[in-house]
Structure formats: structure tokens, C-alpha cells
Amino acid sequence: MQEHTQNHIWRLLWEYDPNGLIAVDSNFTIVLVNPAFCRMFEVEEPNILGEAASSILGNIEHFQKVWNSQQVIRGIEREYSHPKLYLREVVFPIPEEKIIACIMVDISQEYQRRQELQHLKTETVLNVREVVDNQMKVAQEIAGLLGETTAETKVSLLKIIEAVEQEMV
């Protein structure tokens, strides 16, 4: 494949990648972002290049850890409040360029489904507990009523037995 064609394909991948991509230098200053990152964070590239990554991302401890260790960190899940996002991140060093890069996958819908499922499970457990409590209460009431009627029956039968025995004497 010709170099021109490869560069064109790489540019297209950069433009169309649905994942947010960001690169920061040793001062944790933003040096590169792709269009998906800008859409995710509702920013424009010219306005954030040269800005501190923390101004957009908030806590950047994971970037600092990668810088210090030069090791990849995978699977970080983070919630961003503005805009409301839930992302899975992979942060990795590119030593020859002296930068840290991050791939951000938007899992907001998956996170919301997990939250809804957790809510459903919690409600189901509460409902089951309520049903069991009600059944126990009804069972106790029935047992109490059976106990009362059994006692009344016993008293009546004892009176009949006593009356019959007196007649026999």
C-alpha cells in the first residue's frame, strides 16, 4: 500500500473513530484530541489544545501513574458530571514522543442499564421480603385462629364427655 493511501486511511480512522482520544505531554497539557473526544466533552479542539488536562477531565491521577510507571492502565471506569458521561479508559505511554495517550469508550448506556438492573434487583428483594412478611403474618393469624377453635372444640367435647359419663353413673 502506498504511503499516501496509508496516511489517508489513518486520517480517516482518526476522524471517524467513535472513541475519544486524547494525548498529553509531561506537564499534562493537552497536545492532541480527536473529533469524538470533542463531541463527548462538548468542546472545540482549538479552545482546549494547550490547556491543562485537569481543566476538562478533573482528576488525572491515572495519567500521572502512567507517566511515573510507564505502564498501561486498562479498564478504568469513570463518571463525568458535565457533560454526563460514563467512560471506560485505557491510558498508555508513548515514550518516544514523551506523551501519555488515552482511549475513552463511552459506556454511558451500559452503565445506565446496570444501574436500572441494580434498582430492579433492589426493588425485587424488597417486594419478596414484604410478601414473605405478609405470609408469615397470615400464617400466624391462621395458627392463632386454629389454636382458639381447637381449644373451644376441646372444651365443648370435654363437657359432652362429662355429661355422658354422668348419665352413665
pLDDT mean over 9-28: 92
Q: Report pLDDT for 156.
A: 76
Q: pLDDT-derived band of residue 95, with 50, 70 and 90 as boundaries?
A: very high
Q: Is the pTM of this model over 0.85?
A: no
Give me the pLDDT at residue 111, please.
67
Separate counts of helices (H) and strands (E) for the chain: 6, 5
Between CA 52 and CA 29 the distance in angstroms is 4
H-run or E-run covering 51: none
pLDDT, residue 59, reads 93
